[in-house]
A and B are shown apart, each in its own frame.
Chain A
């Protein structure tokens, strides 16, 4: 067992769990923050995407024992980190269907826009590698472009 202190959405959290527990399950089971989703457990689907020290990562691949002092932002904290506009556009453009992948999509999109405020189609294709089984990709792309103020 490891006792690790990390910051999640600006708040210090102390977690006492097995050191190999992935951040995904630390967030969900130990901290009760279920907005971050389990989809595959092998970094394929991106439903578990969070920001770790400002970078989008797949939290199913990040073990707890390397996280002392880390700064984590999850979907629950995205609005406070400048993501409110994206979230509003997700609503306005009726982006989600079942919605399960969308927390990860939003976290990936916010990361992209931070790095490339005016992304090209190719930039979006490269950055957005999350899986959506419902097929909301055209709307995710449209919402990112709208947020960036680039032509649809």
Chain B
């Protein structure tokens, strides 16, 4: 869609006025809200799409990008406030309504697509939100100008006050109602980035923290509705299996139990109209399952545990263990070149005598967001109302339509707070199962909770990746003359076989390696895979940056110097990041035996064009006892995302994403028994605690100042993993080609 056209439409249509407030956006076809609760409704009579300014100057910004912990909503509000020039202490955020977006045929989606993960500084979103603020500011000025009978150009707007040289002053809230009726002849121009006073200059904490810190924030699990009942859910332990039999009568007399319902995937009616879901429905399909509905969750959970159930595990049960799956993926890979990812030059022409080979693997891992999956749904014969913590409401809405078979206009959705996601709440299988349960118990709001064990065993896991690398080094320079890579992906869904962090990286795009052949194959299995913070990148970065380290060792060149040589012709910021992280880590110092520093660099989301994505270099320092006890002593990261909009928010994301990646490399692995996932809780799937966390130093000195404000939440998950492995090699000479590292023997003498 042409963004300019949509911008005009959004900005130029005058709006109704609510309670003396100013509403900017387009008029809603909807009347008053139909439910008494919901964070996507700022008041009992909402009309505006984007911004509302109340008589007391409160500015409400409605944001379609949900908050998953990365500050996406606060960032959108910050963008608006930059141009609105309002008092930041009077700004609040609310969730945008997807139903309203549907009714108004795209108030939010276009130009501000409700794609998950908070790209609030993405080029188009930034422009859109800045323009919304600028437009509101100029309409406020025009309203004051009309009152005072002076030209609008003589009015200044700052800190929620309009001022004129004559000494006249008005607060924004005092003229908001009049301003809302004003149609500007043309949209105001945006400030140049250099004149920003809020973005990049200040670091306000996330707006929702007081609610979080007081326990008032309403997460999906916290939804309360009159007459609400609770459901505990169990799906077939082997993905793709079926329910064979059950005996509901065994639990119906247990306290509070109201019903036992069976979920049969064949009973999904499908959307009655062409769906406009973000990702399609292939990764959200119903699984066979059974649920107990009771007055309270504890009653439902106990009854489910007592319910006699027999499953037909299906074809997936043939996988005796995870290693059987991984061996099959490797065997498929070994059958010869699969899909070509990249082919340059002729690898047969390489003549160097030094050959480097490595075979790497990363296993299944679970997103393990701390809020278990859940959704509350109220389904009747001709309506549905859903409260959910989705990463992508456009996906969630259409999944609900698809699972109820109702017309989109009959389905209402409400976004809640979200207790983490990391990719798990994007596709909507969680809410589809909940809607399926609620559909079987119509007329009552049903809160469907996946237990922690159900979350672990019914995940949409990180794609396991097994990659064989081969390089021929130039006899003179030591750099690769030729490199081949054969990637074996595990999983049936091509959408989760992304080459990001691999074939897009500059080593394969700058021309520095003249002969390349990168291929991939995929093994279909029953175990379901999905998005996991920086999908596939989090595995590929480990492989590629460990292999580069091995090439450096084979070439006899310091691994920092080696990377600088390989990246010499690419954006300077890559070298700047490497040098800064290395310098701060103490690179080059003589270290005691058993200590080492490793370094790595990678870029997300797309690195094959220059000045794109977020580049992160990580330097990890470790100490290992002769008995093999590993201690991560310090992590230094340097990054380039162009510019930053909120420095402290960026720092927080880098800290958190670095720890996430560190845990993935150190600890995370799911295993399989007869086709089913074994691990069920955190006692079997360790997550770092406070005591495990090293100092993480985030260095801003490699920022290029390029005009992009790239996303920051994914990129740091990658490089910390190979940097850790490279540090271990440096410390004790053991090369780790498979995660998790906690399973490796690190003893030395």
Q: Give the contacts of A77-134 with B (CB-CB under 8 A).
A: 78-79, 87, 90-103, 106, 124-126, 128-134
Least CB separation from A124: chain B residue = B690
Least CB separation from A79: chain B residue = B214
Least CB separation from A107: chain B residue = B215
- Complex: A39 Cα to B696 Cα, angstroms: 26
- Complex: A126 Cα to B683 Cα, angstroms: 18
Query: Contacts A30-B296, A94-B652: A87 and B206 contacting too (C-beta < 8 A)?
Result: no
Query: Contacts A129-B689, A138-B696: A100 and B370 contacting too (C-beta < 8 A)?
Result: yes
User: Is B708 part of the contact surface with A, judged by Cβ < 8 Å?
Assistant: no
Query: Contacts A40-B452, A44-B682: A18 and B299 contacting too (C-beta < 8 A)?
Result: yes
B413-428 Cβ-contact flags toward A at 8 Å (1 or 0): 0000111111000000
What 8 A-B pairs are tightest by C-beta distance, nearest first?
A35-B215, A100-B419, A135-B659, A97-B69, A98-B69, A75-B215, A99-B212, A135-B656
22 residue pairs bridging A and B, Cβ less than 8 Å apart: A18-B255, A20-B298, A28-B222, A28-B297, A29-B298, A32-B224, A34-B219, A38-B372, A39-B452, A42-B452, A74-B215, A93-B205, A97-B69, A97-B420, A103-B212, A125-B689, A125-B690, A125-B691, A129-B689, A131-B370, A133-B369, A137-B690
Interchain CB contact under 8 A, B214 and A35? yes
User: Is B410 part of the contact surface with A, judged by Cβ < 8 Å?
Assistant: no
Interchain CB contact under 8 A, B660 and A135? yes
Least CB separation from B296: chain A residue = A29
Interchain CB contact under 8 A, A40 and B214? no
Least Cβ distance of A95 to chain B in Å? 7
B660-691 Cβ-contact flags toward A at 8 Å (1 or 0): 10000000000000000000011100011111
Q: Give the contacts of A59-85 with B (CB-CB under 8 A).
A: 74-76, 78-79
Least Cβ distance of B330 to chain A in Å? 31
- Complex: A122 Cα to B627 Cα, angstroms: 23
Interchain CB contact under 8 A, B296 and A139? no
Interchain CB contact under 8 A, B213 and A90? yes
User: Is A37 part of the contact surface with B, judged by Cβ < 8 Å?
Assistant: yes
Interchain CB contact under 8 A, A45 and B221? no
Residue in B218, B372, B451, B657 whose beta carbon sits within 8 Å of that of A135 in the complex: B657
Query: Contacts A97-B652, A133-B370, A133-B660: A40 and B69 contacting too (C-beta < 8 A)?
Result: no
User: Is A7 part of the contact surface with B, judged by Cβ < 8 Å?
Assistant: no
Residue in B203, B209, B221 whose beta carbon sits within 8 Å of that of A90 in the complex: B209
- Most chain A CB within 10 A, of B649, B682, B687, is at B682
User: Is B216 part of the contact surface with A, judged by Cβ < 8 Å?
Assistant: yes
User: Is B272 part of the contact surface with A, judged by Cβ < 8 Å?
Assistant: no
Q: Give the contacts of B352-404 with A (CB-CB under 8 A).
A: 368-372
Q: Give the contacts of B35-94 with A (CB-CB under 8 A).
A: 67-70
User: Is B515 part of the contact surface with A, judged by Cβ < 8 Å?
Assistant: no
Least Cβ distance of B192 to chain A in Å? 28
Least Cβ distance of B346 to chain A in Å? 45
Q: Give the contacts of B292-328 with A (CB-CB under 8 A).
A: 296-299, 302
Interchain CB contact under 8 A, B693 and A138? yes
User: Is B217 part of the contact surface with A, judged by Cβ < 8 Å?
Assistant: yes
**B696 proximity list for chain A (CB < 8 A):** 138
User: Is B634 part of the contact surface with A, judged by Cβ < 8 Å?
Assistant: no
Residue in A33, A74, A126 whose beta carbon sits within 8 Å of that of B691 in the complex: A126
Query: Contacts A40-B681, A47-B370, A135-B657: A22 and B298 contacting too (C-beta < 8 A)?
Result: yes
Least CB separation from B419: chain A residue = A100
Interchain CB contact under 8 A, B208 and A99? yes
**B655 proximity list for chain A (CB < 8 A):** 135-136, 138-139
Q: Give the contacts of B186-236 with A (CB-CB under 8 A).
A: 203, 205-206, 208-210, 212-219, 221-222, 224, 230
Please report the number of residue pairs spanning A and B whose Cβ atoms sit closer than 8 angstroms.
190
Interchain CB contact under 8 A, A102 and B682? no
Residue in B67, B648, B683 whose beta carbon sits within 8 Å of that of A94 in the complex: B648
User: Is A150 part of the contact surface with B, judged by Cβ < 8 Å?
Assistant: no
Interchain CB contact under 8 A, B215 and A25? no
User: Is A140 part of the contact surface with B, judged by Cβ < 8 Å?
Assistant: yes
Interchain CB contact under 8 A, B255 and A98? no
User: Is B412 part of the contact surface with A, judged by Cβ < 8 Å?
Assistant: no
Residue in B67, B216, B371, B689 whose beta carbon sits within 8 Å of that of A39 in the complex: B371
- Complex: A91 Cα to B210 Cα, angstroms: 6
User: Is B658 part of the contact surface with A, judged by Cβ < 8 Å?
Assistant: yes
- Complex: A39 Cα to B419 Cα, angstroms: 10
**A40 proximity list for chain B (CB < 8 A):** 452, 681-682
- Complex: A126 Cα to B420 Cα, angstroms: 25
The A interface is mostly helix, strand or loop, or mixed, namely: loop
Known: A21-B296, A133-B687, A136-B656. 20 other contacts (CB 8 A): A18-B299, A34-B215, A36-B215, A37-B419, A38-B221, A42-B683, A44-B683, A45-B682, A74-B215, A76-B214, A78-B214, A90-B209, A95-B209, A98-B420, A99-B209, A102-B213, A103-B212, A131-B682, A133-B369, A137-B688
**B659 proximity list for chain A (CB < 8 A):** 135, 137
Interchain CB contact under 8 A, B205 and A91? yes
Least Cβ distance of B707 to chain A in Å? 26
Query: Contacts A97-B69, A100-B371, A137-B690: A42 and B681 contacting too (C-beta < 8 A)?
Result: yes
**A136 proximity list for chain B (CB < 8 A):** 652, 655-656
**B691 proximity list for chain A (CB < 8 A):** 125-126, 129
- Complex: A140 Cα to B206 Cα, angstroms: 15
Residue in A34, A92, A101, A103 whose beta carbon sits within 8 Å of that of B205 in the complex: A92
Interchain CB contact under 8 A, A135 and B452? no
**B219 proximity list for chain A (CB < 8 A):** 34, 37, 100
**B214 proximity list for chain A (CB < 8 A):** 35, 75-76, 78-79, 87
**B298 proximity list for chain A (CB < 8 A):** 17-18, 20-22, 25, 29
- Complex: A100 Cα to B422 Cα, angstroms: 14
Query: Contacts A29-B298, A34-B222, A140-B690: A133 and B422 contacting too (C-beta < 8 A)?
Result: yes
**A124 proximity list for chain B (CB < 8 A):** 690
Least Cβ distance of A22 to chain B in Å? 7
User: Is A141 part of the contact surface with B, judged by Cβ < 8 Å?
Assistant: yes
Least CB separation from A44: chain B residue = B682
- Complex: A108 Cα to B451 Cα, angstroms: 24
Interchain CB contact under 8 A, A135 and B658? yes
- Complex: A105 Cα to B434 Cα, angstroms: 29
B688-730 Cβ-contact flags toward A at 8 Å (1 or 0): 1111010110000000000000000000000000000000000
Query: Contacts A25-B296, A138-B655: A99 and B217 contacting too (C-beta < 8 A)?
Result: yes
Query: Contacts A97-B652, A135-B659, A139-B655: A129 and B690 contacting too (C-beta < 8 A)?
Result: yes
**A28 proximity list for chain B (CB < 8 A):** 222, 297
- Complex: A103 Cα to B682 Cα, angstroms: 19
**A38 proximity list for chain B (CB < 8 A):** 221, 372, 449
Least Cβ distance of A38 to chain B in Å? 6
User: Is A151 part of the contact surface with B, judged by Cβ < 8 Å?
Assistant: no
Least Cβ distance of A79 to chain B in Å? 7
**A126 proximity list for chain B (CB < 8 A):** 691
**A139 proximity list for chain B (CB < 8 A):** 652, 655
Least Cβ distance of B541 to chain A in Å? 17
**B68 proximity list for chain A (CB < 8 A):** 98
Residue in A21, A97, A100 whose beta carbon sits within 8 Å of that of B656 in the complex: A97
**B690 proximity list for chain A (CB < 8 A):** 124-125, 128-130, 137, 140-141
